Amino acid sequence: MNELIQTVLIYALPVIFAITLHEAAHGYAAKYFGDTTAFSQGRLSLNPLVHIDPIGTILIPVVLYFATGGSFLFGYAKPVPVNFSRLKNPKRDMAWVALAGPAANFAMAFAWMLFGAVLQAADIDEAYFNSMAKAGLLTNLVMMAFNLFPVPPLDGGRILVSLLPYKLAYKFAQIEPYGFFIVMGLVVLHVLQFWMLPVMVLTSSFLSILLTPFSFLLGL
């Protein structure tokens, strides 16, 4: 129980930020491209309570933590409603709306990495803050990589539907009702890791390159 409490205290803020900004980014992008559905429902908010799903964000992760000893965790936020038919150019703009969420996670991953560098430069050897910086980076890398997996209704699937020719896009979009079960099956069979790990490693390496000038300025 103590281990769970420590884990929650370290991951709570990074996870809340990751979920909230990811979903809000979808809504803001949709509004920019012409769909005000999320705006009209009050979902363009940085208030975590607007995006947290009691079952998907809290209950399922906690149950899985105890059921698997922390070896397998999964959760989800309340999806931001998007009416793609109301976008200015539905097929093209769908990709930008979908990409907005992972892009927000990419930005947050960089922010947490920079936070860790600032702690190091300031010689702040506080275990809690250092652990939170690592948790923030990991949380956003995982969330970005997972959502970019090219199966609808995940963001990667939406992006692929947007990029495919119309006939192929229509056929591929038909698997969306089964997409959740497909992804969960791949997770259980440990197949999804062959997508997740390379994407996370490549993204982390790219973030390290972006951090180089800041590290120089911080004297690291």
For residues 158 and 152, the answer to whether their CB atoms sit within 8 Å is yes
Instruction: Yes or no: say if 33 and 87 are a contact pair by the CB < 8 Å rule.
Output: yes
Angle between helices 2-32 and 127-147 (to 10 degrees): 50
Alpha helices for 69-192 (secondary structure H): 90-121, 127-147, 155-163, 166-173, 176-188
Closest by CA position to 111, among listed 210, 9, 205, 202: 210
Whether 23 is a known active-site residue: answer yes
Q: How far is residue 127's CA from residue 162's CA, in Å, rounded to a whole number? A: 44
Question: Can you tell me the distance from the alpha carbon of 24 to that of 105, in angstroms, rounded to the nearest whole number?
Answer: 11
Closest among 175, 199, 195, 177 to 187, alpha carbons compared: 195
Q: Are 210 and 110 in contact (CB under 8 A)?
A: yes
Q: 27, 83 in Cβ contact below 8 A?
A: no
Instruction: Measure Cα distances from 131 to 40, 182, 183, 186 in Å.
Output: 38, 33, 29, 29
Catalytic residue, chosen from 3, 23, 126, 176, is: 23
List residues with catalytic annotation.
Answer: 23
